[in-house]
Amino acid sequence: MTSKYQTEAKGYTMTTVMQEAARCLLCEDAPCSKACPAHTNPAKFIRSVRFRNIKGAAETIRENNALGAICARVCPTERYCESACTRAKIDHPIDIGGIQRYVTDMERKDNMQILHAGKPNGMSVAIIGSGPAGLQAATTLLQKGYAVDIYEKNAKAGGYLTYGIPEYRLPEAIVEYEVQRIVNLGANIKYNTTVGKDVTMADLKSHYNAVIVAIGASEAKTIPMFEYNICTESAISFLARAKESEGHLADLPDNVLVIGGGDVAMDVVTTLKKLGVAHVTDMVYEEFAEFKASKKELAGAQQAGVTIVDGYEPTDVHENKVTFKHRKIDSELTITADKIILAVSQKVNAAGLDIDVQHNEVPFREARFHTKDPKVFATGDIVKGDKTVVYAVQKGKKVAEEIDRVLGGQDND
């Protein structure tokens, strides 16, 4: 039986997508287009939808985004395209993400082949990491005629698309489909291969014309007092286990305490409720007005029945008992739970890769993704900029274009 954890919200039908597209004002010099980090042009694809030209709409989406079906589901559109939408001044913004989902669902259903590999140019690139940044970089390079090998330490591709974002927001089947299209273009993914352990950076540098490091921030940060606490698990470990078990975790307790107030914390608490945990308490350092989580994710968690307490930080922990102190008022709380989950951000682990990582980011020159080694480039969450899927896509495309510029590929003839 499909559980709440596995059930994605329903998308538009042909009739309802037409109704939503009809609300679009088809603005001149559309502000929604300028506000997309990946430079997708919603005004153009919505116009195609209005003319029932779904293939044309899919072509517009795929121009700059190999992961259009994924971004349609997980992009924080309220921060990007929809925040700029002119229609918001009349009633509410156009549901750009929802229309993009309809178009890419039709693209998948009708097996449209929109992306094509370029004529081979005799050069090759190794990409370390198959998250969204690595996958987009691979796509752009394949379109320019490069041979591409992706080295991935896990058994599946996708990075946090596969091992982080919960199934009810991003079904694994969608990620698998997007990855398969990139494999069909010619990407060769070497699974279960950790660069720095199974293969050395020196090997890659000697075999390829360029190397891209797209390893993301794959390690959980912690709070020192929780480091060796046996009742504590990190958010990314819990979410990966929930996804891998398809929502059938064997060790689910009745009472879970979560610490953290960002979008990852909201994914943890909502997942716990969808899996049937009776009591979920989320203790958050920030006060409600300063919350890092998106309003949509916060509202979802509250609707699911999570108790969210703002403004408290942990001061002491003994096994499953945690004491918190309010940051501003004189108030102390002690909470006992069966399990504690820490959702206090992620950090980069570049062990064995011989690249410079400072303050959790690789310093790069001239916003062109070079590292100190002229053959090695960095992209995705490990470089400066927003840490979202759509930014990873933008940075993946840009690093590929920079490599093509440096190597003088066919586009530079």
Ligand X SMILES: Cc1cc2nc3c(=O)[nH]c(=O)nc-3n(C[C@H](O)[C@H](O)[C@H](O)COP(=O)(O)OP(=O)(O)OC[C@H]3O[C@@H](n4cnc5c(N)ncnc54)[C@H](O)[C@@H]3O)c2cc1C
| 18 is a contact residue toward ligand SF4 (CB under 6 A) | no
Residues in 129-188 that interact with ligand X by CB under 6 A: 129-134, 151-154, 159-160, 164-165
Least separation in angstroms between CB 29 and ligand X: 26
Applying CB under 6 A, among 38, 195, 211, 258 the residue interacting with ligand X is 195
What residues pair up with 307 in beta bridges, in sequence order? 281
Ramachandran region of residue 382, left (φ > 0), alpha (ψ -120 to 50) or beta?
alpha
Phi, psi of 400 (to 5 degrees): -65, -40
| 96 is a contact residue toward ligand SF4 (CB under 6 A) | yes
172 and 243 Cβ atoms separated by less than 8 Å: yes
**Helix (H, G, I), strand (E, B), or coil: what is residue 338?**
coil
| Helical axes 96-109 vs 42-50, angle rounded to 10° | 60
| 94 is a contact residue toward ligand SF4 (CB under 6 A) | yes
| 32 is a contact residue toward ligand SF4 (CB under 6 A) | yes
Least separation in angstroms between CB 396 and ligand SF4: 25
Element (H, E) at 318: strand 312-318
DSSP one-letter code for 82: G
Strands, E assignment, 88-159: 124-128, 147-151
24 touches, from ligand X, ligand SF4, none (C-beta below 5 to 8 Å by class):
ligand SF4
Nearer to ligand X, 151 or 312 (CB): 151
Nearer to ligand X, 50 or 292 (CB): 292
Q: How far apart are CA 96 and CA 296, in angstroms?
A: 15
Least separation in angstroms between CB 169 and ligand X: 6
Least separation in angstroms between CB 30 and ligand SF4: 4
| 42 is a contact residue toward ligand SF4 (CB under 6 A) | yes
Q: How far apart are CA 191 and CA 174, in angstroms?
A: 19
Nearer to ligand X, 5 or 151 (CB): 151
> How many helices (H) and strands (E) would you count in the chain?
14, 15
Would you tell me which residues interact with ligand X (CB under 6 A)? 74-76, 128-134, 151-154, 159-160, 164-165, 194-196, 214-216, 218, 236, 239, 263-264, 267, 380-381, 387-390, 392
Would you tell me which residues interact with ligand SF4 (CB under 6 A)? 24-27, 30-32, 42-43, 46, 85-87, 94, 96
